[in-house]
């Protein structure tokens, strides 16, 4: 437990020192998407009998929690290869599991901050949702999955250029295609099969249904839970291999 707290508190201190810049950064993309797609393009559109803006905002929450959770891979990469912090953790009496959980939960914290910014902007726009336990379960599980993948990629990938490739070819396309900006049911059946295999698709569905006050989407919950466990296992083994 002490090892986990040491890793997590280090990351929290970094976030604290960068907090004003991070909050400003977190607010830019959601604001642009809301203005361009929500108020501009989608002003008179409806999805499932609801205004498009109500469809869009939960999707932005899902996409942002994914992006910020996965974004810890850059921080770990810098700490590992330039600041040599990972070597210090190797020398310290900290277990692999403690290190992994500390980094993953720092990614979840970043994701929660970004989601809070979106919800603040949403409240200013006059849109109200239900933010019960099911909503936050979806956000945290989504962030946990992608933070675990962020740890894994940081251990496996050896350069910033390769990290950028993962983001450009996997994370960014998923942010647009995972049921965030449009219903995947509008796509051809063959494409729907692919999109339904994306973790973000299930996260967006769970978060959106919870935001509408319709309770927990159990099918998506079970899938996300299994993916979170798988992500934790992958992150653990990637750190274990990197220590060798």
Task: Give the start-to-end residue ranges of the domains of the chain.
Answer: 2-243
Please write the tens of the pLDDT for every residue from 27-56: 888 888 887 777 776 667 778 778 888 888
Please write the tens of the pLDDT for every residue from 66-77: 999 998 888 887
pLDDT at residue 78 greater than cutoff 80: no
> Average pLDDT, stretch 97-102?
88
* φ, ψ at 23 (rounded to 5°): -65, -40
What pTM was estimated for this model as a whole? 0.91
Please write the tens of the pLDDT for every residue from 176-230: 888 888 888 888 888 889 998 899 999 999 999 999 988 888 899 999 999 999 9
pLDDT at residue 131 greater than cutoff 80: yes
Q: CB neighbours (10 Å) of residue 237?
A: 14
Question: Looking at residue 42, what is its pLDDT?
Answer: 62
pLDDT at residue 156 greater than cutoff 60: yes
pLDDT at residue 85 greater than cutoff 90: no
């Amino acid at each position: 437990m002490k090892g986990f707290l040491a890793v997590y508190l280090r990351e929290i201190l970094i976030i604290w020192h960068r907090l004003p810049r991070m909050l400003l950064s977190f607010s830019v993309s959601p604001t642009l998407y809301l203005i361009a797609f929500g108020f501009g393009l989608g002003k008179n559109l409806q999805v499932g009998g609801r205004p498009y803006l109500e469809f869009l905002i939960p999707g932005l929450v899902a996409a942002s929690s994914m992006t910020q959770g996965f974004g810890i891979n850059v921080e770990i990469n810098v700490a590992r290869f330039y600041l040599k912090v990972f070597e210090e953790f190797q020398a310290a009496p900290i277990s692999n599991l403690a290190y992994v959980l500390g980094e993953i939960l720092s990614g979840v914290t970043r994701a929660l901050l970004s989601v809070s910014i979106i919800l603040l902007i949403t409240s200013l726009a006059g849109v109200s949702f239900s933010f019960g336990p099911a909503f936050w379960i979806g956000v945290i599980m989504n962030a946990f999955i992608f933070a675990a993948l962020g740890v894994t990629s940081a251990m496996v990938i050896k350069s910033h250029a390769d990290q950028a490739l993962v983001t450009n070819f996997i994370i960014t396309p998923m942010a647009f295609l995972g049921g965030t900006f449009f219903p995947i049911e509008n796509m051809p059946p063959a494409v729907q099969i692919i999109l339904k295999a994306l973790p973000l698709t299930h996260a967006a569905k769970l978060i959106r249904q919870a935001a509408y006050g319709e309770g927990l989407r159990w099918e998506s919950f079970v899938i996300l839970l299994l993916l979170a466990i798988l992500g934790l296992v992958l992150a653990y083994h990637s750190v274990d291999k990197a220590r060798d």
